[in-house]
């Protein structure tokens, strides 16, 4: 490349590297195996209600786990009940529970569960909606029925979930914050269920 | 540890007693033990007290902290204490508390010899309807430290320590809410004759032991361009655990006491080793390599399973960094990480795991002037999980990013960013196999007419493709493509009056891979305009008017049977408009009173009747940030939020909101 300055040559080389990396299949996903089982219906998250519907319909479901994990914002954080966190010590299993952790955890639960029902039974406090209408905090009382070998003999998980929904720059709603709390039932919480399946990540 | 401990001890003792030169100042930032710098100044820190209360919709948190310390040429003292309680609002008596008190005294007996005492006392407790639990942790550590510089450019430091440890835990559950535990029944000879289910309603545990440890560090800097720091530490504790369990047997309401005493027969050994080498070469070349090894055993009382557990970790890793500036404004860097982490439990085998990690990153940043910047980065991560009960397999991520910005003139500038990534999950249990591909590009620019008037516009497209590999999940594979325009305008009409507008246009297409799922394809569109008008009426008052407009429609985007083109059929349209007015008053310095009244109108059109909802909201608040009582400072905010839905018929719910939110902090020095 005669006549070009060294900086220009470096920039040209970098751009060529970009095209080379993008063009040689480095970012090409694998092809699925032939066939195709039953699909699930995943609502576009253009409202918090759609996000809630996707969570309840697909949380521990193998075919729909991607629909659930798509509802999580990149900044997602899960906060366990303080007593659950204390009970786990010195194991800091709840530390840095971000979106990547939640995705892998939910996938593990979905793979292990043979029966599942998730329900938000009621809202135990009024919703908090930000002035610009782009953030909502909802306070749910929930119960889950999960049949899975790794949490047996527990099958019922109950508690309270304070969930923050945020409308991001792409105008879609996602979950940014999930605070788990025990209720008075004495049942294990959603946080305990999650904890059991976080192994190796 | 058993094999390595003597080696460490011999090496460190040799370093200690070979030294003939007095220790100079440490040349490394990674100093073990007590730093020399705390003795050089005579410094008195005032007694500092901080208290704060934060209240949100569901919890109230009160935190207090107290700090005190002073430094002298011969000794240094630092103390700190803090405690916080969290109360569940509306659920009296429920909540949690945690606190810590710590103190440290360092005494410089001679120039090279430091004796230290370090105490830490922690407590945490939780209260809920079915249990009350408390954990206390007491630590008292005495250590002696010696530093020498046996040769020019060499510094050696060793710390010998002994720590007394006590852990208490207590959990109480109401009758009938006990946690079941299987107990082995023994006869008079101590032989097991069966098992029994015992419902534990009260369990208290005391674990105690003394941890003896030795830490050493060698810092070698033979040349200005090369430095090597090596540190190693080892410690051992043989804990004794006594558990008192109270509860009832299966089918019985009679409360009984059981005692379990476990004397640690296997010591808990902890060994850590770390070496870092740094080389600084010509033309901005900086490179360093760091290797480390950790082996830990930790015995603890598992409060979930109510038994003594042993957790062991074996970790080793290495990190490499290379950085050079071959041209003016250009920096090229290369990073690599290797790591192996094996964790093992004595009883909870389902949590055993071996994770091997390899990551690499190459990046170049070009910043020749304030007008231009550009960068390119390529990352690759490889994680392998093995020896787990489930989830074994590989996780590979590739990530590429290019950024650039250039100011074409004093008023006009352009910028852009593009990324591509692929995350591939390749499990032994291939049902979970999945590839997630993402691509994103954003291009835009800004035009600044004047200091008070400017606009920015960006166009972006993103594409995500989730590909589940197995047939049981692949029918949901789809491509989600988002086209978006973001724009903002800032207009300062007068020095006091300003208008800001933010625009957003967005369309999201979700197209499924398989033709059989054509009917599930959807399109969603959003238009949003936010307008803010702010006016500072007087020096003590400001006014802000906000209008938010949102239009959203949604529907199927699919081919009709026999059709070629996909058609958009709107299923639902939503319009939301919110008008809010805020006035801020500053009656005195450091105090702001605010009131916001807003009305939100939501109109939803779908196949059924159109629904309309009006929601009124009134927020009143005060913010304080000012000194009080001489040298104390009070900062905080208190806000009351009230809202309700307008009733269209007498039976409609009001959906009332009536919340107090507060956060107040008082800081005082004595």
User: What CATH number should be reported for the domain holding residue A164?
Assistant: 3.10.450.50
- Cβ pair B437:A17 closer than 8 A: no
Instruction: Output the pLDDT for position B665.
Output: 92
Separation CA A162–CA A164 (nearest Å): 7
The H or E element spanning position B81 is strand B75-88
**Residue A33: inside a domain, yes or no?**
no
What are the residue ranges in chain A where pLDDT is below 50? 1, 3
Q: Is the CB of B434 inside 8 Å of chain A's CB atoms?
A: yes
- Domain assignment of residue A189, given as a range: 48-196
For chain A, report the end-to-end CA distance as a whole number of angstroms: 48
Closest CA–CA distance from residue A104 to any residue of chain B (Å): 9
Virtual torsion, Cα B621, B622, B623, B627, nearest 10 deg? -160
Instruction: Output the pLDDT for position A162.
Output: 93
Virtual torsion, Cα B647, B649, B652, B658, nearest 10 deg? 20
Closest CA–CA distance from residue B196 to any residue of chain A (Å): 17
**Residue A183: inside a domain, yes or no?**
yes
The radius of gyration of chain A's CA atoms, rounded to the nearest angstrom, is 21
**Residue A67: inside a domain, yes or no?**
yes
**Residue A6: inside a domain, yes or no?**
no
Separation CA B113–CA B158 (nearest Å): 10
- Nearest alpha-carbon partner for B12 in B28, B29, B32: B32
Residue of A nearest to B616 (CA): A131
Instruction: Output the pLDDT for position B277.
Output: 96
Spell out which residues of chain A touch residue B391, defining contact as CB-CB under 8 Å.
Answer: 104, 108, 199-201
- Cβ pair A32:B484 closer than 8 A: no
Q: Predicted ipTM?
A: 0.82
Q: Which two tokens stand for residue B391?
A: 């989830």
Spell out which residues of chain B touch residue A7, defining contact as CB-CB under 8 Å.
Answer: 327-330, 366, 368
Main-chain dihedrals φ then ψ at residue B658, nearest 5 degrees: -145, 85
Mutation pick from B417, B419, B475, B503 vs chain A, by most beta carbons of A within 10 Å, is B475
Q: Which residues pair with B215 in a beta bridge?
A: B159, B233
Task: Give the distance, in angstroms, between the CA of residue B660 and the centroid of all CA atoms in the same chain.
Answer: 28
Instruction: Output the pLDDT for position B443.
Output: 97
- Nearest alpha-carbon partner for B117 in B180, B52, B72, B162: B162
Instruction: Output the pLDDT for position B324.
Output: 93
Instruction: Output the pLDDT for position A6.
Output: 64
Number of residues that make up chain A: 201
Separation CA B36–CA B111 (nearest Å): 9
Residue-wise pLDDT tens digits, A55-99: 999 998 888 888 899 999 999 999 998 888 888 887 889 999 999
Domain count of chain A? Answer: 1
Q: Which two tokens stand for residue B147?
A: 């530093």
**Residue A1: inside a domain, yes or no?**
no
**Residue A16: inside a domain, yes or no?**
no
Distances (CA, A) of B556 to A48, B467, B519, B522, B524: 19, 22, 7, 4, 9
DSSP letter for each residue of B369-436? ETTEEEEEEEEEEEEEEESSSS--EEEEEEEEEEEEEEE-SSSEEEEEEEEEEEEEEEESSGGG-EEE
Residue B266 burial class via C-beta count within 10 angstroms: exposed 0-12, middle 13-18, buried 19 and up:
exposed
Q: How much is the mean pLDDT over chain A? A: 85
Q: Is the CB of B653 inside 8 Å of chain A's CB atoms?
A: no
- Cβ pair B364:A127 closer than 8 A: no
Q: Any idea which residue has 């545990």 for tokens?
A: B205
The radius of gyration of chain B's CA atoms, rounded to the nearest angstrom, is 33
- Cβ pair B390:A28 closer than 8 A: no
Instruction: Output the pLDDT for position A23.
Output: 64
Residue of B nearest to A160 (CA): B58
Distances (CA, A) of B143 to B15, B23, B626: 18, 19, 44
DSSP letter for each residue of B425-478? EEESSGGG-EEEEEEEEEEEEEEEEETTEEEEEEEEEEEEEEEE-STTTGGG-E
**Residue A75: inside a domain, yes or no?**
yes
- Nearest alpha-carbon partner for A163 in A145, A186, A190, A187: A190
What are the residue ranges in chain B where pLDDT is below 50? 1-29
Separation CA A27–CA B436 (nearest Å): 9
**Residue A103: inside a domain, yes or no?**
yes
A29, A40, A46 ranked by CB distance to B437: nearest: A29
- Cβ pair B131:A83 closer than 8 A: yes
Mutation pick from A9, A27, A138, A181 vs chain B, by most beta carbons of B within 10 Å, is A27
Residue B44 burial class via C-beta count within 10 angstroms: exposed 0-12, middle 13-18, buried 19 and up:
exposed
Instruction: Output the pLDDT for position B5.
Output: 45
B388, B439, B552 ranked by CB distance to A200: nearest: B388
- Cβ pair B353:A200 closer than 8 A: yes
Closest CA–CA distance from residue A33 to any residue of chain B (Å): 6
Instruction: Output the pLDDT for position A189.
Output: 93
């Amino acid at each position: 490349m005669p006549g070009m300055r060294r900086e220009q040559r470096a920039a040209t080389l970098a751009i060529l590297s970009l095209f080379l990396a993008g063009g040689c299949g480095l970012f090409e996903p694998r092809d699925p195996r032939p066939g195709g089982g039953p699909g699930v219906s995943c609502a576009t998250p253009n409202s918090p209600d759609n996000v809630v519907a996707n969570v309840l319909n697909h949380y521990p479901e193998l075919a729909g786990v991607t629909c659930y994990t798509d509802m999580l914002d990149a900044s997602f954080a899960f906060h366990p009940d303080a007593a659950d966190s204390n009970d786990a010590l010195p194991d800091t299993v709840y530390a840095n529970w971000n979106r990547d952790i939640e995705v892998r955890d939910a996938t593990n639960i979905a793979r292990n569960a043979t029966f599942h029902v998730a329900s938000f039974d009621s809202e135990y406090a009024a919703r908090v909606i930000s002035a610009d209408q782009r953030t909502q905090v909802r306070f749910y009382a929930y119960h889950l029925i999960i049949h899975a070998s790794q949490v047996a003999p527990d099958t019922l998980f109950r508690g309270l979930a304070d969930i923050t929904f945020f409308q991001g720059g792409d105008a879609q709603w996602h979950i940014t914050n999930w605070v788990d709390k025990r209720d008075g039932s004495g049942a294990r919480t959603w946080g305990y269920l999650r904890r059991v399946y976080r192994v190796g990540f | 540890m058993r094999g390595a401990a003597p080696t460490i001890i011999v090496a460190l003792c040799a370093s200690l007693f070979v030294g003939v030169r007095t220790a100079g100042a440490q040349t490394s930032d990674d100093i073990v033990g007590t730093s020399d710098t705390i003795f050089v100044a005579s410094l008195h820190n005032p007694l500092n007290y901080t208290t704060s209360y934060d209240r949100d919709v569901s919890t109230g948190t009160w935190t207090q902290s107290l700090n005190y310390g002073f430094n002298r040429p011969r000794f240094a003292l630092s103390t700190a204490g803090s405690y916080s309680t969290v109360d569940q609002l509306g659920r009296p008596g429920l909540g949690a508390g945690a606190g810590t008190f710590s103190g440290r005294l360092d005494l410089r007996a001679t120039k090279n010899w430091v004796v230290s005492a370090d105490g830490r006392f922690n407590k945490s407790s939780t209260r809920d309807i079915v249990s009350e639990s408390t954990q206390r942790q007491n630590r008292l550590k005495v250590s002696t430290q010696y530093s020498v510089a046996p040769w020019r450019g060499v510094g050696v430091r060793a710390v010998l320590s002994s720590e007394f440890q006590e852990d208490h835990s207590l959990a109480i559950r109401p009758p009938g809410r006990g946690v079941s535990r299987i107990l082995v029944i023994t006869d008079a000879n101590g032989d097991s004759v069966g098992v029994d289910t015992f419902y534990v309603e009260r369990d208290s545990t005391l674990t105690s032991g003394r941890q003896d440890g030795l830490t050493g560090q060698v810092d070698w800097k033979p040349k200005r361009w090369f430095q090597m720091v090596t540190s190693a530490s080892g410690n051992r504790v043989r804990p004794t655990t006594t558990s008192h369990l109270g509860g009832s047997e299966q089918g019985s309401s009679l409360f009984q006491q059981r005692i379990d005493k476990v004397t640690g027969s296997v010591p808990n050994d902890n060994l850590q080793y770390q070496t870092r080498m740094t080389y600084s070469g010509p033309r901005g070349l900086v490179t360093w390599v760091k290797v480390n090894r950790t082996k830990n055993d930790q015995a603890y009382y598992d409060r979930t399973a109510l038994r003594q557990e042993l957790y062991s970790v074996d970790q080793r890793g290495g990190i490499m960094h290379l950085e050079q500036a071959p041209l003016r404004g250009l920096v090229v860097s290369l990073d690599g990480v290797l790591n192996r982490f094996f964790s093992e439990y004595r009883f909870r085998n389902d949590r055993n795991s071996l994770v091997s990690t390899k990551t690499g990153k190459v990046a170049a940043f070009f910043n020749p002037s304030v007008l231009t910047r550009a960068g390119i980065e390529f990352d690759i991560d490889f994680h392998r999980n093995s020896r787990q009960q489930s989830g074994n397999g590989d996780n590979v991520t590739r990530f590429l990013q290019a950024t650039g910005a250039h100011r074409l003139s004093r008023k006009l500038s352009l910028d852009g960013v593009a990324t591509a990534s692929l995350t591939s999950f390749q499990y032994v249990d291939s049902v979970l196999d999945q590839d997630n591909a993402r691509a994103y590009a954003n291009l835009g620019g800004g035009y600044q007419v004047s200091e008070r008037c400017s606009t920015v516009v960006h166009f972006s497209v993103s594409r995500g493709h989730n590909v589940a590999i197995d047939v049981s999940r692949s029918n949901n594979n789809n491509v989600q493509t988002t086209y978006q325009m973001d724009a903002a305008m800032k207009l300062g009409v007068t020095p006091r009056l300003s208008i800001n507008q933010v625009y957003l246009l967005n369309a999201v297409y979700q197209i499924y891979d398989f033709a059989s799922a054509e009917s599930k394809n959807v399109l969603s569109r959003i238009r949003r305009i936010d307008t803010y008008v702010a006016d500072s009426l007087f020096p003590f008052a400001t006014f802000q008017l906000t209008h938010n407009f949102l239009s959203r429609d949604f529907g199927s985007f699919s081919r009709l049977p026999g059709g070629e083109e996909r058609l958009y059929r709107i299923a639902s349209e939503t319009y939301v408009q919110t008008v809010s007015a805020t006035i801020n008053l500053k009656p005195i310095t450091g105090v702001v009173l605010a009131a916001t009244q807003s009305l939100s109108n939501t109109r939803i059109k779908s196949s059924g009747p159109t629904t309309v909802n009006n929601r009124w909201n009134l927020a009143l608040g005060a913010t304080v940030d000012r000194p009080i009582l001489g040298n104390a400072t009070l900062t905080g905010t208190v806000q009351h939020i009230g809202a309700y839905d307008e009733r269209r018929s007498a039976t409609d719910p009001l959906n009332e909101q009536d919340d107090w939110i507060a956060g107040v902090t008082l800081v005082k020095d004595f």
